């Protein structure tokens, strides 16, 4: 499932990603590896990273398998969606995403925060933070907090 493409980063792929495509950032979730931080990943951290890779690869089944039956999803656009509504409303083709750069994950017990930078194929980017709750080895809840949009490294004001 995973492959180290450079000496300082690990890329997870879901679709036959080759080394040349990884260097361009296509079809990969990029994050600082435990090899450079000197620490190992927790099961919850690994599950979060795997979810990001599955989402980027449009692997709906892998995402569904990681979510608890009583899964709930909340974002500024969606309030407390159940698992079926999440897939109906939120699951779109991820071809517009070039990559996710996971910047940090904090895990404490059955809860975790993840902050990531999402880079779109058209040059847009944004940074979000998500709060995960786990139960029985699966993700029970995700709450998304949107960050600022950016284009070519510059802040983009959003309409009110």
Q: How far apart are CA 158 and CA 124, in angstroms?
A: 13
pLDDT at 40 over 70: no
Which of 69-73, 82-86, 106-110, 155-159 comes out lowest in average pLDDT? 155-159
Residue of 13 and 158 predicted with greater confidence = 158
The CATH number given to whatever domain includes residue 24 is 3.10.450.50
Note the pLDDT of residue 86. 94
Note the pLDDT of residue 96. 83
Structural domain containing residue 71: 2-156
Note the pLDDT of residue 30. 39
Residue 153's CB: how many other CB atoms inside 10 A? 7
Whether the Cβ atoms of residue 6 and residue 25 lie closer than 8 Å to each other: no
Number of domains in the chain: 1
What confidence tens digit (pLDDT) does each residue in 10-31 have?
Answer: 333 333 333 333 433 433 443 3
Note the pLDDT of residue 90. 83
pLDDT at 2 over 70: no
Phi and psi at residue 37, in whole multiples of 5°?
Answer: -95, -15
Residue 14's CB: how many other CB atoms inside 10 A? 18
């Amino acid at each position: 499932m995973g492959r180290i493409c450079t000496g300082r980063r690990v890329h997870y792929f879901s679709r036959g990603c080759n080394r040349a495509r990884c260097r361009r950032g296509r079809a990969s979730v990029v994050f600082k590896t435990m090899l450079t931080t000197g620490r190992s990943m927790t099961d919850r951290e690994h599950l979060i990273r795997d979810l990001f890779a599955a989402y980027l690869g449009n692997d709906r089944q892998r995402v569904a398998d990681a979510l608890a039956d009583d899964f709930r999803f909340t974002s500024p656009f969606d309030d407390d969606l159940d698992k079926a509504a999440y897939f109906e409303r939120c699951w779109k083709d991820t071809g517009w995403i070039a990559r996710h750069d996971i910047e940090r994950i904090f895990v404490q017990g059955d809860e975790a925060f993840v902050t990531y930078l999402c880079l779109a194929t058209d040059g847009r980017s944004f940074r979000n933070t998500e709060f995960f709750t786990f139960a029985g080895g699966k993700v029970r809840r995700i709450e998304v907090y949107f960050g600022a949009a950016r284009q070519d490294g510059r802040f983009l004001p959003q309409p009110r």
